[in-house]
Amino acid sequence: MSRVAVKMDTDTTPVTGVEELDKHLDELLEDPSLPPNPKLFDDVELQLTEANTPPLIPRLLPKITDILKKYEQDPAHLCSLAIKLLGPVNFTQVLSLASEDAIIQALRSTAPSANILAMTVLEKAANSPADAAILAMMNNVITNFLTQWLSAPQVEVGEKGGKVLGDLLDVDSDSRPPDGLSVNGTEIVVKKPIGQGLMWRRIFHDHDIYDVILSLCSQHGPLDIQQRSLAQGRLLRVLPRLSALNFRTLTSTDFTDLNARYANINSNAGLLHFAALHMIDKEDLLMHLNLIDFFEALLSIQRITPFSAQKIDTLKQLVREATEQDNVLKAAIRSLPERTVPEEAEDLGRFVEQVLDLQ
């Protein structure tokens, strides 16, 4: 296992218990069936700071990585300590400590702590466009990440995956609003330089990866009803943010064959149309509420993105089709301005009238 150097001012105060923990890690390497000693992990983790962590990274992290490859017990304590150790390490440094195969194995694990650890590693690629571009080249990692984000039953894995995906596409966006975006005081798009767009191309222009998203969220996909609903909800929550970054990419696709397979439509409509019009069963009251939340978030965000005739025409068509036989959704959209902050209500009201064709 290669070592990584992390340059940072270090604390000279020794971390107690490291010798005992190091020995315990050797025991777990020797016998993966041994249970972990929670006290040894907790004692060391609670002492870690930005200053005293770097010297421990090359000593402890490679062993933890090797243990996780074959560990038979609950890895929660191992993963928690690994996440703390990873704090000062950047994405490319992590790749010298953990291979793509190790990341994929953690993503595929049935243990949510391992999933969170792997997603924390991927999250580091959101710190710069260059790191996001490196990750975009890791096709199998992206495939397994999206699969676990949508198919993991644990809420915390879904939430972590949605945040990581949004952050990666944010830093990688090559068409971001130049001044950032805030809705109701919440920052949606950060003001930063544009990215390279490689992550966007990997997810939205790679047939196999796009297939993963549609299949896991489709009524005709492999997931059972409960997990499919979770996957659909996760996709609905992330799309409004992504629409602020690159609306055009979300509203068209090259893969009409996948639209025909999963949405039973013969068009190049994009992921936004799939999610809004063809994905959920509106007889499912909870999913219908999720759809209403999605439209409210989408319109609130699109109201403050740069104007384009294509955007307005697309939103009109989307809302018209979605509300054609859904008076509850139409009423929710009409009343949206009444439920927003007063200083934004008037502009939002005009925007809602525009997309509902009430002007």
82 domain residue, yes or no: yes
pLDDT tens figures, 251-261: 999 999 999 99
Same domain, 127 and 5: no
Residue in the block written with tokens 């499912």: 284
309 domain residue, yes or no: no
Q: DSSP label at 336?
A: G
Boundary-marking domain end, from 279, 297, 315: 297
Same domain, 37 and 77: yes
pLDDT tens figures, 322-339: 999 999 999 999 999 999
152 domain residue, yes or no: yes
Q: How confident is the model at residue 307 (pLDDT cuts 50, 70, 90)?
A: confident
Q: What is the average pLDDT score of the chain?
A: 92
* Residues ≥6 apart with Cβ < 8 Å to 233: 158, 287, 290
Boundary-marking domain end, from 98, 121, 145: 98
* Distance in angstroms (rounded) separating the CA atoms of residues 141 and 155: 21
What pairing do the DSSP bridges indicate for beta strands 186-189 and 181-183?
A: antiparallel
338 domain residue, yes or no: no
Same domain, 151 and 267: yes
pLDDT at 5 over 90: no
pLDDT at 10 over 90: no
Q: What value does the mean pLDDT take over residues 315-323? A: 97
Same domain, 84 and 149: no
- In this prediction, residue 6 carries a pLDDT of 46
Task: Report the percentage of the chain scoring pLDDT > 90.
Answer: 83
Same domain, 86 and 206: no
Which one-letter amino acid corresponds to residue 281? Answer: D
Same domain, 65 and 136: no
Which residue segment(s) compose the domain that 217 sits in? 107-297
What stretch of H or E contains 57? helix 57-68
pLDDT at 189 over 90: no
How many structural domains compose the chain? Answer: 2
Task: Report the percentage of the chain scoring pLDDT > 70.
Answer: 91
244 domain residue, yes or no: yes
Lowest mean pLDDT segment, chosen from 38-47, 99-108, 192-201? 192-201
Boundary-marking domain end, from 65, 98, 131: 98
pLDDT at 179 over 90: no
Same domain, 130 and 219: yes
- In this prediction, residue 178 carries a pLDDT of 60
pLDDT at 7 over 50: no
Same domain, 153 and 173: yes
- In this prediction, residue 34 carries a pLDDT of 94
* Distance in angstroms (rounded) separating the CA atoms of residues 233 and 327: 21
* Distance in angstroms (rounded) separating the CA atoms of residues 301 and 295: 10
* Residues ≥6 apart with Cβ < 8 Å to 270: 204, 249, 250, 251, 252, 253
Same domain, 39 and 116: no
- In this prediction, residue 97 carries a pLDDT of 85
* Residues ≥6 apart with Cβ < 8 Å to 177: 189, 244, 305, 306
Q: CB burial class (10 A; 0-12, 13-18, 19+) of residue 305?
A: middle
- In this prediction, residue 185 carries a pLDDT of 60
311 domain residue, yes or no: no
Same domain, 156 and 245: yes
pLDDT at 301 over 90: yes
Q: What value does the mean pLDDT take over residues 62-71? A: 92
Q: What value does the mean pLDDT take over residues 124-145? A: 97
335 domain residue, yes or no: no
Does 129 or 12 have the greater pLDDT score? Answer: 129
pLDDT tens figures, 209-238: 999 999 999 998 999 999 999 999 999 999
Residue 148: CA count within 13 A, CB half-sphere:
30
* Distance in angstroms (rounded) separating the CA atoms of residues 79 and 84: 9
202 domain residue, yes or no: yes
Same domain, 139 and 74: no
Same domain, 118 and 183: yes
